[in-house]
């Protein structure tokens, strides 16, 4: 924590200590999940990238292979949790009280209410935002972001932290590639500029293209986490 002195008052810089405390909470949560053999995947994107639609498509691939649950985070409303529940996926809604992200303690509270001991995989659908969610470690084992074709291939250049913190970039809505000036090779190139180790998978949540590949990526990581 740093301080600055003006003529009238002190300015206290608390951002660093907030992040440090959150990082400690996140490590504790990961250890708890490790002991329970539960894999937590943090899903992030801008609004409209079809996070929920992707989860619906994934549930059809994963439901008979792994015990799966979804935590939906929004500032308000419960539309997404209702959608997942109606599809037969165990779900819970988290309201952030106006905050544009989840941190580790908020995630822990949600997991406690949700109950994870009978789940192998929990996917946290974070608040739709390309800035704040990337700044806070939720305690997830892996981070995944969705970039939709209409957003453009240059998003990794404009929002670097999102791609630096994610293990996987999913490019969604490839069924409309012909209608947008979207360069697949540049999207991969720009993401790799931010994070050379990031994996990239192209999908269409609408048609199901690429969903089996995405499901396999998730299953591979779940198995490695539970076995280690």
pLDDT in tens, 104-136: 999 999 999 898 888 999 999 999 999 999 999
The CATH fold of domain 12-227: Rossmann fold (3.40.50)
Q: How far apart are CA 83 and CA 103, in angstroms?
A: 24
Sequence-separated (6 or more) residues with CB below 8 Å from residue 84: 52, 55, 56, 59, 70, 72, 91
| Helices 51-62, 79-86: crossing angle, 10 deg rounding | 20
- Cα separation values, 165 from 8, 84, 225, Å: 39, 26, 18
Q: Cβ(95)–Cβ(113) under 8 Å?
A: no
Q: How confident is the model at residue 151 (pLDDT cuts 50, 70, 90)?
A: very high
pTM of the predicted structure, to 2 decimals: 0.91
> What is the distance between the terminal CA atoms of the chain, rounded to a whole angstrom?
37
Looking at residue 14, its pLDDT comes to 42
| Helices 51-62, 211-227: crossing angle, 10 deg rounding | 70
Q: How far apart are CA 113 and CA 14, in angstroms?
A: 30
Rounded average pLDDT over 55-60: 96
- Check pLDDT > 90 for residue 216: yes
Q: Cβ(170)–Cβ(53) under 8 Å?
A: no
Q: Cβ(42)–Cβ(14) under 8 Å?
A: no
- Check pLDDT > 60 for residue 5: no
Q: How confident is the model at residue 4 (pLDDT cuts 50, 70, 90)?
A: low
- Check pLDDT > 50 for residue 139: yes
Looking at residue 78, its pLDDT comes to 82
Per-residue model confidence as pLDDT tens digits over 11-55: 444 445 578 899 999 999 999 999 999 999 999 999 999 999 999
């Amino acid at each position: 924590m740093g301080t600055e002195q003006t003529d009238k008052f002190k300015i206290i810089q608390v951002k660093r200590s907030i992040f440090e405390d959150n990082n400690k909470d996140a490590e504790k949560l990961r250890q708890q999940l490790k002991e329970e053999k539960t894999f937590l995947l943090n899903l992030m994107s801008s609004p409209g990238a079809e996070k929920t639609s992707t989860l619906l498509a994934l549930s059809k691939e994963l439901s008979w292979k792994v015990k799966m649950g979804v935590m939906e985070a929004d500032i308000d409303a419960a539309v997404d949790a209702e959608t997942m529940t109606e599809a037969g996926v165990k779900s819970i809604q988290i309201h952030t009280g106006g905050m544009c992200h989840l941190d580790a303690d908020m995630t822990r509270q949600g997991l406690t209410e949700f109950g994870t001991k009978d789940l192998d995989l929990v996917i946290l659908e974070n608040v739709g935002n390309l800035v704040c969610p990337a700044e806070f470690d939720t305690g997830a084992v892996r981070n995944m972001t969705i970039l939709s074709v209409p957003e453009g291939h240059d998003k990794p250049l404009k929002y670097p932290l999102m791609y630096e913190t994610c293990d996987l970039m999913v490019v969604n809505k490839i069924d409309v590639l012909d209608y947008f000036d979207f360069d697949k090779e540049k999207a991969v190139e720009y993401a790799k500029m931010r994070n050379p180790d990031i994996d990239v998978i192209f999908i269409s949540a609408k048609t199901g293209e690429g969903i089996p590949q995405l499901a396999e990526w998730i299953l591979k990581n779940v198995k490695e986490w539970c076995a280690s």
